[in-house]
A and B are shown apart, each in its own frame.
Chain A
Amino acid sequence: MSQKIIINDVTLRDGMHAIRHQYSREQIAELTRLIDSSGSDIIEATHGDGLGGSSIQYGFSKEDEETIIKTAVENADHAKIAVLLLPGIGVIEDLERAHGFGAQVARVATHCTEADVSEQHIGKAAALGMDTVGFLMMSHRTTPENLLEEAKKMEAYGAQTIYVVDSAGALTMDDTRARIALFKEHLSDSTTIGFHGHNNLSLGVANSIAAIETGAQRIDASLAGMGAGAGNTATEQLAAVMNRMGIEHNLDLYKTMDAAENVMKPMMERPVQIDRLSLTLGYTGVYSSFLLFAERAGKEYGVDARDILTRIAEMGAVGGQEDWIIGVAQDLAQEKKVHS
Chain B
Amino acid sequence: MSEKIKCAIIGSGNIGTDLMMKLLRSEHLEVTALIGIDPESKGLKRAEAYGLTAISNGIEGLKENPELADVVYEATSAKAHMHNAPVLKSLGMKAVDLTPAAIGPFLVPAVNLREEEIPHMDNVNMVTCGGQATIPMVHAVSKVLDVDYAEIVASISSQSAGPGTRQNIDEFTETTAAAIKEVGGARDSKAIITLNPADPPILMRNTIHVQTAGDAESKSEEIMQSLDQMLTTVQGYVPGYRYKASPVIKGNVVTISVEVEGNGDFLPEYAGNLDIITSAAVRTGEVIAKSLASKGVAK
> A residues within 8 Å of B by Cβ?
52, 55-57, 87-89, 91-93, 111, 113-114, 116-117, 119-120, 141, 315-321, 323-324, 326-327, 330-331
Contacts and interface: CB of A to CB of B under 8 A. Distances in A.
Contact of B167 (A55, A120, A324): A120
7 contacts: A55-B151, A56-B209, A57-B192, A88-B195, A92-B170, A316-B198, A327-B244
Interface in B154-210: 155, 158, 163, 166-170, 172-174, 190, 192-199, 202, 205, 207, 209
A57 B209 contact: yes
B197 A89 contact: no
Contacts of B91: none
Residue picked from B163, B197, B202, B211, most chain A C-beta under 10 Å: B197
Given A116-B163, A120-B170, A327-B257, A57 B151 contact: yes
Interface residues of B, number: 35
B192 A56 contact: no
A59 to B, nearest CB: 12
Nearest to B200: A316
Contacts of B173: 88-89, 91
Nearest to B196: A318
Given A52-B190, A56-B253, A57-B192, 5 more contacts: A56-B255, A89-B192, A114-B197, A318-B197, A324-B205
Given A117-B166, A117-B169, A330-B246, A323 B257 contact: yes
A326 B167 contact: no
Given A57-B153, A114-B197, A321-B155, A87 B248 contact: no
B55 to A, nearest CB: 29
A315 to B, nearest CB: 7
Interface string B59-84: 00000000000000000000000000
B192 A320 contact: yes
Contacts of A323: 153, 155, 207, 255, 257
B245 interface: yes
Contact of A116 (B166, B196, B244, B257): B166
Contacts of A119: 166-167
Most buried by B among A56, A116, A326, A327: A56
Contacts of B149: 56
A87 B248 CA distance: 28
Nearest to A314: B198
Given A88-B173, A321-B155, A55 B195 contact: no
A93 B166 CA distance: 17
Interface of B: 149, 151, 153, 155, 158, 163, 166-170, 172-174, 190, 192-199, 202, 205, 207, 209, 211, 244-246, 248, 253, 255, 257
A321 B166 CA distance: 18
- Name which of A88, A93, A326 has the most chain B CB atoms within 10 A of its CB: A88
A55 B172 CA distance: 17
Main secondary structure of the interface of B (DSSP, over half): strand
Nearest to B155: A321
Contacts of A331: 245
A188 to B, nearest CB: 23
Contacts of A116: 163, 166-167
Contacts of A320: 153, 192, 194
**Top 10 closest pairs, chain A to chain B, by CB:** A316-B198, A323-B207, A327-B245, A56-B209, A91-B170, A88-B193, A320-B194, A113-B197, A116-B166, A117-B169
B10 to A, nearest CB: 23
B233 to A, nearest CB: 23
Contacts of B163: 116
Of the candidates A52, A113, A320, the one having the most CB atoms from chain B within 10 angstroms of its own CB is A320
Nearest to A330: B245
Given A56-B211, A120-B167, A327-B257, A91 B196 contact: no
Contacts of B169: 87-88, 117, 120
Contacts of B153: 57, 320-321, 323
Nearest to B173: A91
Contacts of B257: 323, 326-327
B151 A120 contact: no
A321 B167 contact: no
Contacts of B244: 327
A114 B174 contact: no
Nearest to A91: B170
Contacts of B158: 113-114
Nearest to B208: A323
Contacts of B199: 316
B151 to A, nearest CB: 5
B201 to A, nearest CB: 10
Contacts of A141: 197
B206 to A, nearest CB: 9
B160 to A, nearest CB: 13
Contacts of B207: 57, 323
A105 to B, nearest CB: 20
A120 B158 CA distance: 18
Interface centre among A52, A111, A117 (most CB of B within 10 A): A117
